[in-house]
Structure 1
């Protein structure tokens, strides 16, 4: 336990479920939330909304629900500041989690088992149900202590982040209700850090999902047919995977680069053919590419076009996903939001490690509408296990995260009026 902050007398929600004995009530609440099966392909969003309704009632704060797409609801709990004309602080989290392969887990992925070392196992422990509860519990403690802040604080809970956010944040940022939140600065999810530092993400790579279609001459499987789809396909695969090796080599031979600084390319699907003895008239190959903000996207696509033209005639490509926003959030000390965030962390003896997020989160949609957003999950001394088997988080790391937000929220919500604000 953390002295004076996370002891048994500290405020926290949720009832003891009998599984944790005398465990901290914030941990009990976390485990309760983990048991909600908000897992794709059919997340139980209704259960999550009922849970959040209860949290809003316990916090004595209003919650608004906005259905952005059929069956997809964004929930927003709002703590109005003393000067609501100022830009607000957004604490964003998503309610959905990715599927599990239960046979590869040591415990039921939705039972939230806590072992003798205090490690809590469950899908969403890191990504990102822990952060959701940390937000809620930090607000609970601040509110119970009679604290008030100049800026309004919104806790937002969005669906479908794990399937691209198209029916969640991507749509909601264009909604009038989002604009009405008057956001000035946002916090969203990050990643665990196995070391002592805490990783902070100020930008993201652009996800490009592409399918290359290779037409060719069909024929009988017993002949040397010229200009086949498979020959073109092989050249395409070689071009993409040769580039992959170069980027992998750059990452592995530089001490300055992290995964978010290079372009990853992975071949994910191959399609084509109808029978063993029939040379197909067409074959497709698909790639998942993640491109850092430092790459010229126009030049990169021109490179793809050259690979296609060099592989043979008639080759075409189509994007299933193509994000081109490369905005990053300022992390210079001259920026009041970053200065407040970083100095607060420093006061907590937290060492920050700034990176480009290697995958994709809802932060990219927030940045795309011109708002600063930081990806941050206060989890150090923790292996990175999002989307992995046996995802877990230690209860002491979880409790420490509540304390971190107890300091960050007041600091950010009391940033003095900036130029252009009332």
Structure 2
């Protein structure tokens, strides 16, 4: 018995020792770069963003609501405010309002880079709840307010200002620089980014990297991380929508059957809610843990260093955290439409529900369909794919020049900021550029915290003036770094 106990004790000590060794050798992977001196940003650059925010370039689901005059005004703004870009760069226009600029590099052997943004914004649901007029472009309390300050005129104008500034200085890139600005990202990008990407593919363009909107610099939003942490999206989730319908006999509400179409479909939705798809730690999440785990306290560091042992605990923590935390480790299930009935005393013969699934890398739309059929297990419920559907993007590497340029630039412009890859849980125009480059990254250079995180597509969208100035510095330095 003593030998058995001693054997168990030895195994336990070896196990604990293994965990401790892995934890203690889980050292920092952060790039060490000296910050650069901040260049002066002219007030005119701020005025240009304000001008852009005043144009109601809204994307509506209903095409009849489209305001062509706002987008035409944006076209004029581009040529008026950026005369060197307008005169020196090649310019292609797609569907009248999407733009692709080409800044020819001096070395044809170097792959080009693509910097992206989108001109359109989402509608305003409750303008009366805003602190300021959402289309006034007003500066208040050191911040620029308005729809598009975060998503995504901030990027578009920031890229343009940086490029115009470099042209003014006589900078000549070695590698070609493309500036891609779609006008319909918020409704899928079919008339903008899709056509731009097809054009680049037809031209045989293979880019060193593509940079689009995505994550930002988080401030005290990541548990266990005190410094600012910039998250660079190296993949984005897929999206598939499934429509569920039930057809059954109806009747008068005074003589209800044991089950109605509403009962059957409600039960199906309850099954989906109770049986989500299997969670996992995707490759982007593994990269996130590799980069930020060593910067955390001992307990978190130990868990991330020994994730094969603590995987269940890590996943459970994310599942029980915020909605965003849960979305990082699983394909999410979101019922968005439920329809049935025409009158209060008539039992409906038909019920319909629409459910959106955001798919984690490693799973597909077909996996989702197989899952829902198995879980619901009721032939009366008819599922079919509905609307726009796409699988998760490929995962871009972090050990190449493209990621390195972005990582270095963040460190130079935003001193003492940690960096890490991660999974973007929303969709961006960059998903259309997979034939243009295998190195697609999603990052916007502004700070996001508890004060502004809910203004994205919401009320009181705003950005600090200093963040906007730093964004111009970031894009300028990124172009320089990509050409050294």
- CA separation in 2, counterparts of 1:369 and 1:141? 27
Partner of 2:238: 206
Counterpart of 1:76 in 2: which secondary structure?
A: strand
Q: Secondary structure at the match of 1:186?
A: strand
Aligned to 2:329: 261
1:88 aligns with 2:151: no
Give, in whole Å, the separation in 2 of the partners of 1:146 and 1:176.
Answer: 26
2:163 maps to 1:139: yes
Deviations 1:388-416 (A, max 9, x none): 100000000110111112211111234xx
Query: Which residue of structure 1 aligns with residue 199 of structure 2?
Result: 175
Give the whole-Å Cα distance in 1 for the aligned partners of 2:350 and 2:177. Answer: 54
**Aligned residue runs from structure 1 range 349-368, under 5 A:** 349=415, 350-367=417-434
CA contact (8 A) 2:114 2:179 kept: yes
Residue pairs, 1:161-310, within 5 angstroms = 161-175=185-199, 179=203, 181-195=205-219, 196-243=228-275, 251-253=318-320, 259-308=327-376, 310=377
Residue deviations 1:248-292 (CA, integer Å, cap 9, x gap) = 966244799663332222221111222222211110011122111
Q: Which residue of 2 aligns with 1:107?
A: 132
- How far is 1:194 from its partner? 4.1
Q: Distance in 2 between matches of 1:325 and 1:263?
A: 10
Q: What TM-score, normalized to structure 2?
A: 0.74
Displacement after TM superposition at 1:137 (Å): 1.5
Would you say 1:53 and 2:53 are equivalent positions? no
* 1:315-360 per-position Cα deviation (integer Å, ceiling 9, x unaligned): 23232121024312111x3x22222322333344332132111111
* Alpha-carbon distance in 2 for matches of 1:205, 1:92: 19
Does 2:174 correspond to 1:150?
yes
1:411 is matched with: 481
The aligned residue for residue 328 of structure 1 is 395
**From 88, 91, 100, the counterpart of 1:64:** 91
Contact 1:272-1:280 within 8 A present in 2 as well: yes
Q: Secondary structure at the match of 2:463?
A: strand
Given the superposition, is the C-alpha separation of residues 245 and 318 from structure 1 closer, same or farther in structure 2, using an over 3 Å criterion? closer
Contact 2:216–2:446, Cα closer than 8 Å, also in 1: yes
Task: Work out the CA distance in 2 between the residues paired with 1:347 and 1:258.
Answer: 32
For structure 1, which segment, 251-260 or 43-52, has the greater mean C-alpha deviation from structure 2 after superposition? 251-260
> Shift of residue 369 of structure 1?
5.4
CA pair 206-250 structure 1, distance change in 2 beyond 3 A: farther
CA distance in structure 2 between the partners assigned to 1:181 and 1:34 by the alignment: 32
Q: 1:325 to 1:198 in 2, by over 3 A?
A: closer
Q: Root-mean-square deviation (CA), in Å?
A: 2.7
CA contact (8 A) 1:61 1:77 kept: no
Give 1:6-21 correspondences, 5 Å limit.
6-7=39-40, 10=41, 12=42
Residues 177 and 201 (structure 1), Cα distance of their counterparts in 2 relative to 1, 3 Å cut: closer
Between Structure 1 and Structure 2, how many residues are aligned? Answer: 392
SS in 2 for 1:189: strand
Q: How far did residue 296 of structure 1 move?
A: 4.8
Residue 399 of structure 1 corresponds to 469
Alignment TM-score, normalising by the size of structure 1: 0.85
Question: 1:132: Cα distance to partner?
Answer: 1.0
- Quote how far apart the aligned CAs of 1:74 are: 2.3
**Residues 1:3 and 1:177: Cα distance change in structure 2 (over 3 Å):** closer
Provide the residue aligned with 1:420 in structure 2.
Answer: none
SS in 1 for 2:318: helix
- Whether the 8 Å contact between 1:105 and 1:390 is mirrored in structure 2 is yes
Which residue in the other structure is 1:21 paired with?
none
SS at match of 1:210: strand
Matched, 1:27 2:46: yes
| More displaced stretch, 242-251 vs 144-153 | 242-251
